[in-house]
Amino acid sequence: MHRHPSPFHRPGSCPAPRRLARALLPCAVAMFTPVTVAAPDAGLTVGGAIRFNYAYKDWDPAYRSGGLIDFDTARIDVNYDRDAWLGSFQYRYYRYRGGADTHFLHHAWIGYRFDDSTQVHAGVNPIPFGILPFASHNFYFSLPYYVGLEDSYNLGVKLIHRAGPLDLQAGFYPSDGGNWRGDSDDSARYTYNIVEEGAVRNSERNTFVARAAWTVEHAPSMKSEFGLSALHGSIPNADTGRKGHREAWALHLKGDYGPWGVMLQTGRYDNSLRNPAGQDDRIVVMGAYDFPYEVAARARMHIANLSYRVQQDAGLLKSVTLYANYSVIDKLDAGFRNTHQQVYGFSFAPVDGVFVYVDYLLGKQNPYVGPNFGNGLAGGGADDSWHERFNINVGYYF
């Protein structure tokens, strides 16, 4: 994920990772290392990816004349699945234009299958909220991702039960996924969490998440999943010693109708803060990719996505997915300007191991599509116009 300068960024500071971060990586490596020398049928797979990004941005002079190609990501993946035991580990490295870099854990969890229907996962694992695994088709996700409610990973335990059309998941997450290596105070991480940056010292703790989904089979290759998700957790403030709380809910429909795909989701989140006097309780600081920004503490979230899959017998574009994705953060405090994101594009795999996203994005008060990185998701910046970004991401996955 590309990133923009943030008013919270502090060049030159490079704090050691949190205790959680220091502890998790050796544990994850130890969990998998003894198996790496085993036979191929031992259930272990090791892989990774390297990705590059081309971007044109109409608001950035450096990218406005023909665009630029940048390194995006390098990552390592380790997965285990044998008999009743399973697990997954991923670590990522990002290097940005100008020389800054960051690296962090994406996930690390182990699991146990009780039977074909029920399993438990423990570690840094995805929270069960909304459309899974992604509420989007494009490279830049939907806007709920940027407030920590799409493709989010925290430290905890999750129970999964799938029986016929029913999918039930529930998890308890005592902590976030940890701060790793970077220049920010607390934002060297993959998931957008509430972070302690500068004088603002809130964090996420003791989060309960539950999701129930039911799938209706209409005909072969025609099905609809209907789901409800809910989240509740605490937001302790290190200065006041008091605990606020966070709530979120979402209703969704995920439809697969032959070549057509539909994603519809609506919901709301509320962060009630216990800040010191003088700090704005209408704004929460969240961070990821080593950059924090401000986010409206209360908002509605809406997603509407459409996709179409094209299959051909031969050629580089044997399977292409066309998509149109729209999402909005509808802020509830007076005077806050809403954040919008439209993405039109397609994805394809030209050869084995290579995957490409081609995206045209339109954004308003959007941290990654426009100049308002630090406050676009909060009250909004002075520039309230639409901006555009053209993006091509090419990844080699091995």
32 pLDDT higher than 70? no
Domain assignment of residue 383, yes or no: yes
Torsion angle of alpha carbons 367, 368, 372, 376, nearest 10°? -20
DSSP code per residue over 298-309: EEEEEEEEEEEE
Query: Does some domain include residue 4?
Result: no
What is the radius of gyration, based on Cα positions, of the chain?
A: 21
Residue 146, phi then psi, degrees to nearest 5: -80, 0
Inside any domain, residue 10: no
| pLDDT for residue 355 is more than 80 | yes
Identify the H or E element spanning 24. helix 19-32
User: For residue 146, what is the DSSP state?
Assistant: G
pLDDT of residue 40: 53
Residue 22 has pLDDT above 60, yes or no: no
36 lies in a domain? yes
Instruction: Provide the pLDDT for residue 41.
Output: 66
Q: Identify the weakest region by mean pLDDT among 25-29, 202-206, 223-227, 266-270.
A: 25-29
Phi/psi of residue 28, each to 5°?
Answer: -65, -45
For residues 60 and 58, give the distance between their C-alpha atoms in angstroms, rounded to a whole number.
6
Question: Would 3 be classed as within a structural domain?
Answer: no
Phi-psi region of 380 (alpha: psi -120 to 50; beta: other; left: phi over 0): left
- Name residue 132's amino acid: L
Of 149-163, 234-248, 278-292, 304-318, where does mean pLDDT reach its minimum?
304-318
Q: 228: burial class by Cβ within 10 Å (0-12, 13-18, 19+)?
A: middle
Q: Is residue 29's pLDDT more than 90?
A: no
State which residues form the domain around 143: 19-397
Please count the structural domains in the chain.
Answer: 1
Mean residue pLDDT of the chain comes to 91
pLDDT at 16 over 60: no
13 is a domain residue: no
Burial of 16: CB neighbours in 10 Å, binned 0-12, 13-18, 19+: exposed
Position 205 in a domain: yes
pLDDT tier at 317, thresholds 50, 70, 90: confident
Instruction: Provide mean pLDDT across the span 272-288.
Output: 97
pLDDT higher than 60, residue 31: no
Residue 311 pLDDT grade (very low, low, confident, very high; cuts 50, 70, 90): confident
Domain-located, residue 131: yes
Strand order in the sheet with 291-296: 193-194, 283-288, 291-296
The enclosing domain of 87 has a CATH number of: 2.40.160.10
Q: Does position 284 have pLDDT exceeding 70, yes or no?
A: yes
- In this prediction, residues 68-86 reach a mean pLDDT of 97
Residues 293 and 286 sit within 8 Å (Cβ to Cβ): yes
Q: What is the mean pLDDT of residues 80-106?
A: 97
% of the chain exceeding 70 in pLDDT: 89
- Per the DSSP assignment, residues forming a β-bridge with 272 are 245
The one-letter amino acid code at 233 reads: G
Percent of the chain exceeding pLDDT 90 equals 86
What integer is the mean pLDDT of 43-47? 96
